[in-house]
Amino acid sequence: MKKVSLIVLSIMFLGLMITPLAIAEKAEDNYKLYCFQCHGSKGSGGGINAAALSTAPRDHTSATEMKKLSDKDIFTAIKEGGAAVSKSTFMPPWKSILTDDEIKDMVKHLHKLCNC
């Protein structure tokens, strides 16, 4: 009985450790899929579409710039698009593609990119 309990606890512990990693990887994958064309693969704003835009995409690696934004601002920009936060209309709303939880995870990923 003790051995079974230990195995169950070990599995639960491993599950708790794997979940945040899987969430982080999902956010990174979503960023690469939906954001890199404008913001670049590293998030610096130099994606393949950036040169064609009249407004430069935000540099997500700039702690100085990213610290000016609240999590709510970032969430709203992702969910509702740039126009919703008085930024570029070229930033599309992702509310029909990403769930609220995925957007929250994306906000965390952006904090990782800027180390802020």
User: What is the pTM assigned to this prediction?
Assistant: 0.79
What pLDDT does residue 25 have? 80
Second-level CATH architecture of 22-114: Orthogonal Bundle (1.10)
pLDDT per residue as tens digits for the range 50-97: 999 989 999 999 999 999 999 999 999 999 999 999 889 999 999 999
Q: Domain ranges in the chain?
A: 22-114
What is the per-residue pLDDT across 57-68, written as a single tens digit (0 to 9) for each? 999 999 999 999
**Distance between CA atoms of residues 18 and 58, nearest Å:** 31
Distant-in-sequence, close-in-space partners of 94: CB < 8 Å, separation ≥ 6:
34, 78, 79, 81, 103
- Going by the DSSP 8-state scheme, the letter that residue 56 receives in this structure is P
| pLDDT on residue 32 | 94
Angstrom distance (rounded) from CA 99 to CA 82: 17
